[in-house]
Amino acid sequence: MIDKKSQFTSSFKQILDNFNDVMKYSYVHKYFNTIEFKNRISNTMTCKSLITQKIFNNGQPNIINNGFLDLNYCKEKDLQVDVNVDVNRNFTLRVDKTLQFNSFKDYCIFGKINSNTLNKQIYPQIGFYKNFNSFAFKIKFDLDNYITQIKGKALYDRDEKNENSNFFGTGVAIDYDFRKQILSNIKAVIWNINQNATMSLHYSNSKPLDKDTDYVVKYCLYQKLQNKVDLGIQLSRKSRDQGFGIKFGCKYYKYDNVIYNCKLTEQLFIQSSFIIDLNLRKKDESFVNKSDFPIGLKIFICQ
């Protein structure tokens, strides 16, 4: 019998070494896996509900079809959401037989494709998650033009105790609708990144954001003056009707449910994203080895 725990704490890339030209990266942490693909051709793909229904061809199916990516999101028998998206993508997925028949038995397959425009740096992604009570997907989009639009309008903040402190910078906040896949309402933000201080966020009208009560649906991107960007997350939610999002911010955190930091490239493309548990109230101490960090977001379904 294969030890499931050992399987899920190793890099999934070991299984995909023969597909380096197709795979960008993939990691497995506990019982979560997400795969990102980087190749672009004109064909597309079709996937359906349970992974055991699709991945049986010696663990190495080619999923190539004309038209659309058709994903069947299954939570329970009484809840089924069909998604049909034109993605203009193709991928080849190889899954090891032992993982397929032992670890992935009765798992749901899910995915999220975001490719509404040709000028976006957005990639398809497929993942697996047991006890499927949430969507999980990776959001990757080009923020270059949004940063350009707001350049010169952002506010500044610095450590008041040290006039010469370099702990100040500019940033941008963006509303993101998970369901409609729309970016809107771009605002300047300030981050106080004094190492001895808690992170503070302000809008362009200098209104502080209460991290405990004033939850908002925001992406907040912070950029240091040294052009290095650190990324962190905190869940933000008002209500199920309004949906929810996450805040991306600077490197010093005291939010209980921030579980991971990562870096952005100089082009400001998001290179990693995260598992988020709406019920998480403290840091998950199991996220110790960065090589085991998952790539993807765990997001509850908003009907």
Dump pLDDT digits (tens) for 245-302.
333 333 322 222 222 233 322 222 222 223 323 233 333 333 333 332 222 222 222 2
**Phi, psi angles (nearest 5°) of residue 24:** -90, -60
**Residue % of the chain over a pLDDT of 90:** 0
pLDDT for res 128: 34
Contact 197, 160 (CB under 8 A): no
Domain ranges in the chain are: 4-137, 144-269
Whole-angstrom distance, CA of residue 189 vs CA of residue 160: 18
- Mean pLDDT value of segment 53-73: 30
Coil vs helix vs strand at 191: strand
pLDDT for res 18: 29
- Mean pLDDT value of segment 167-189: 38
Mean pLDDT, the chain, rounded, equals 31
* Stretch (H or E) spanning 145: helix 144-150
Q: What is the DSSP letter of 296?
A: S
Residue length of the chain: 303
* Tokens 């702990």, located at residue: 167
Number of helices and strands in the chain (H, E): 3, 17
Comparing CA positions, the residue from 106, 112, 131 lying closest to residue 71 is: 112
- Which of 50-54, 181-185, 188-192, 242-246 shows the lowest mean pLDDT across its residues? 50-54
Whole-angstrom distance, CA of residue 198 vs CA of residue 191: 10
pLDDT (tens digit, 9 = 90+) per residue, 66-108?
A: 223 333 333 333 333 333 333 333 222 222 222 222 233 333 2
Q: Which residues are CB-contacts of 168 (< 8 A; sequence separation ≥ 6)?
A: 156, 157, 158, 159, 192, 193, 225
pLDDT-derived band at 146, boundaries 50, 70, 90: very low
Amino acid at 129: Y
pLDDT for res 75: 33
pLDDT (tens digit, 9 = 90+) per residue, 12-40?
A: 333 233 233 332 333 322 222 333 332 22
**Residue % of the chain over a pLDDT of 70:** 0
Contact 220, 173 (CB under 8 A): yes
pLDDT for res 65: 27
Amino acid at 97: K
- Mean pLDDT value of segment 124-148: 32
Q: Which residues are CB-contacts of 203 (< 8 A; sequence separation ≥ 6)?
A: 173, 187, 188, 189, 209
Whole-angstrom distance, CA of residue 277 vs CA of residue 286: 14
